[in-house]
């Protein structure tokens, strides 16, 4: 038996030993315990050894240094996923650590499947798309997804990683299926306008319009007369246009004096393609072959149409004349009648005298003239027929890196393109109508410009219009260089705007001469769809 005093001391020592074992993270320290009295040593050591063994066997459950205990489910987790066996984060930050940013990313270490969530937006430095690439951008045609799910816009899962997520595209990495085929062909439709910037439709050095060249101002003489020869006051006034002959020497009359088809000049500037057809509209459709991520080849067929314009295309200038012809007369006074008077005393008889009025005998003509030179005396209006064109072209486009990127497929990609082909034009003719100036009204202005209150200066020449054939229907070569930008709207559709320079060979005139090359600026809006 233990004495009460010695038993109390033994209890105190054992308490200190237990406290020492717990406060040193399970590391058992065995100290020599000296207890006074030889008869107590064997009992004390036996109790200490027993307690120490018990404490050592329970250290692995207290915490700190890992013991020999092994999780029986560890091998099963490792078989399912090589990353499942990571140790659990004791700091409670699983909310961030268990979040993934692409469906193909492995489950983070230390996270259970039901803790995994899929972020809605990739964080800075995280993977985007398959294996961290840029496929999520979907920009055609640099790195297209060609209809695959947009992994750059995931959604949060509503359940465990292995259950609810398995019903969506998030497990595409873990399931097998047929590989999606990248499209190689797409169709396109386009609508555009075209404006010619160089080249003449009618070059008068190569082609002339006869209706202008045959103009004769003498056909439109105006005139009036006042007075009579028998009254000695006849005045003839003639208005005409011609060249400037000076002081009208040896003038007889306007018809014989002025030279037919004589005028100062015809102003007939060349007529450009843009004058005849302001903005032709083109519709086209075709196919495009996707050769690589940045190169495509295309073939298109197009139709272009434009109504013909009308307007003044040539003017004639000359000198407007007013010629006054005043008669010069001899005056014969009137004679009163006298009766017959017989002679007186055998004298002679006085014959009767018949009454006679006064008389003017024209013996000469005074001619005076006034004129205003360099006046517009005629206008020629041209009315062109419509333009119809069918064209075929084949070419290629090269795409650069996108200049604008956004989440999903909405990218903007610049490109350049070139094409060559041929165009077929319909026959073209022009109707020519003439407007003639009033000579007298033009002269009255004395060279001043007409105003709103001025009487009308021109009148239309009635009669059938003159029609002149310019071109027969024919084919011409054509080529085009374009630059533009393409906006990828969806994985299969895109919209592009492009402009450039189009060059077409000169057409042959009806007289055999060759017209100018037509250089134009097309502006086109094009839509495409992947097959």
Where is pLDDT greater, at 51 or 186?
186
How far apart are the C-alpha atoms of 198 and 516, rounded to whole Å?
Answer: 9
pLDDT for 180: 59
pLDDT for 14: 52
Residues of the chain with CATH 2.40.160.20: 183-208+269-308+385-427+472-531
Per residue in 169-221, pLDDT (tens digit) is 444 444 455 555 677 899 999 999 999 999 999 988 899 887 777 889 989 99
pLDDT for 120: 62
Tell me the helices (H) and strands (E) count for the chain, helix number first: 9, 20
Q: Taking 90 as the threshold, does the pLDDT of residue 506 lie above it?
A: yes
How far apart are the C-alpha atoms of 493 and 397, rounded to whole Å?
Answer: 17
**Percentage helix, strand, coil for the chain under 3-state DSSP, each rounded to 5:** 15, 40, 45
Q: Which residues pair with 22 in a beta bridge?
A: none
Contact 310, 381 (CB under 8 A): yes
Contact 518, 436 (CB under 8 A): no
Contact 418, 468 (CB under 8 A): no
How far apart are the C-alpha atoms of 21 and 27, rounded to whole Å?
Answer: 6
Question: Looking at 6-10, 192-196, 422-426, which range is the least confident one?
Answer: 6-10
Per residue in 364-380, pLDDT (tens digit) is 888 888 889 999 999 99
Quick one: which H or E segment has residue 447?
none
Contact 420, 359 (CB under 8 A): no
Domain 183-208+269-308+385-427+472-531 has CATH 2.40.160.20: yes
Q: Taking 50 as the threshold, does the pLDDT of residue 260 lie above it?
A: yes
pLDDT for 107: 83
How far apart are the C-alpha atoms of 513 and 416, rounded to whole Å?
Answer: 36
pLDDT winner (highest mean) among 131-135, 141-145, 322-326? 322-326
pLDDT for 101: 76
pLDDT for 3: 45
pTM of the predicted model as reported, rounded to 2 decimal places: 0.59
pLDDT for 412: 92
Where is pLDDT greater, at 527 or 325?
527
Q: Which two tokens stand for residue 115?
A: 């803790």
Q: Which two tokens stand for residue 408?
A: 């999903």
């Amino acid at each position: 038996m233990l004495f009460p005093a010695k038993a109390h001391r033994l209890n105190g020592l054992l308490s200190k030993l237990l406290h020492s074992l717990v406060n040193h993270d399970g590391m058992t320290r065995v100290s020599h315990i000296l207890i006074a009295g030889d008869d107590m040593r064997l009992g004390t050591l036996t109790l200490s050894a027993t307690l120490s063994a018990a404490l050592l066997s329970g250290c692995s459950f207290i915490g700190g240094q890992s013991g020999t205990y092994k999780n029986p489910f560890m091998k099963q987790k490792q078989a399912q996923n090589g990353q499942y066996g990571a140790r659990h984060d004791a700091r409670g930050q699983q909310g961030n650590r268990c979040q993934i940013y692409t469906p193909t990313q492995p489950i983070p270490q230390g996270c259970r499947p039901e803790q995994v969530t899929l972020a809605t937006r990739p964080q800075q430095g995280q993977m985007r798309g398959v294996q961290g690439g840029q496929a999520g951008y979907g920009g055609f045609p640099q790195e297209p997804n060609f209809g695959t799910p947009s992994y750059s816009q995931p959604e949060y899962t509503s359940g465990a990683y292995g259950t609810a997520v398995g019903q969506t595209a998030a497990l595409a990495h873990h399931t097998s299926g047929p590989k999606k085929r990248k499209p190689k062909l797409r169709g396109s439709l386009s609508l555009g306008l075209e404006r010619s910037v160089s080249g003449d439709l009618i070059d008068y050095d190569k082609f002339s319009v006869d209706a202008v060249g045959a103009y004769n101002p003498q056909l439109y003489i105006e005139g009036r007369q006042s007075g009579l020869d028998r009254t000695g006051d006849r005045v003839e006034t003639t208005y005409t246009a011609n060249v400037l002959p000076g002081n009208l020497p040896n003038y007889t009359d306007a018809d014989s004096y002025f030279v037919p088809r004589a005028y100062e000049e015809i102003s007939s500037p060349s007529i450009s393609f843009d004058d005849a057809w302001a903005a032709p509209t083109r519709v086209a459709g075709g196919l495009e072959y996707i050769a690589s991520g940045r190169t495509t080849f295309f073939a298109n067929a197009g139709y272009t149409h434009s109504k013909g314009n009308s307007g003044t295309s040539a003017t004639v200038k000359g000198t407007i004349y007013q010629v006054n012809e005043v008669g010069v007369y001899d005056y014969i006074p009137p004679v009163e009648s006298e009766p017959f008077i017989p002679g007186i005393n055998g004298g002679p008889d006085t014959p009767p005298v018949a009454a006679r009025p006064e008389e003017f005998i024209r013996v000469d003509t005074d001619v005076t003239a006034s004129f205003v030179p360099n006046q517009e005396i005629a206008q020629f209006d041209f009315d062109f027929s419509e333009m119809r064109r069918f064209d075929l072209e084949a070419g290629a486009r090269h795409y650069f890196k996108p200049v604008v990127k956004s989440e999903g497929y909405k990218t903007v990609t610049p490109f350049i393109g070139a094409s060559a082909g041929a165009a077929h034009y319909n026959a073209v003719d022009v109707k020519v109508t003439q407007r003639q100036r009033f000579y007298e009204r033009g002269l009255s202005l004395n060279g001043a410009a007409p105003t709103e209150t001025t009487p009308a200066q021109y009148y239309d020449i009635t009669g059938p219009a003159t029609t002149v054939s310019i071109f027969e229907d024919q084919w011409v070569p054509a080529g085009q260089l374009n630059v533009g930008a393409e906006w990828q709207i969806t994985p299969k559709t895109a919209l592009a705007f492009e402009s450039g320079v189009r060059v077409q060979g000169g057409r042959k005139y009806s007289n055999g001469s060759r017209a100018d090359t037509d250089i134009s600026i097309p502006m086109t809006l094009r839509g495409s769809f992947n097959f």
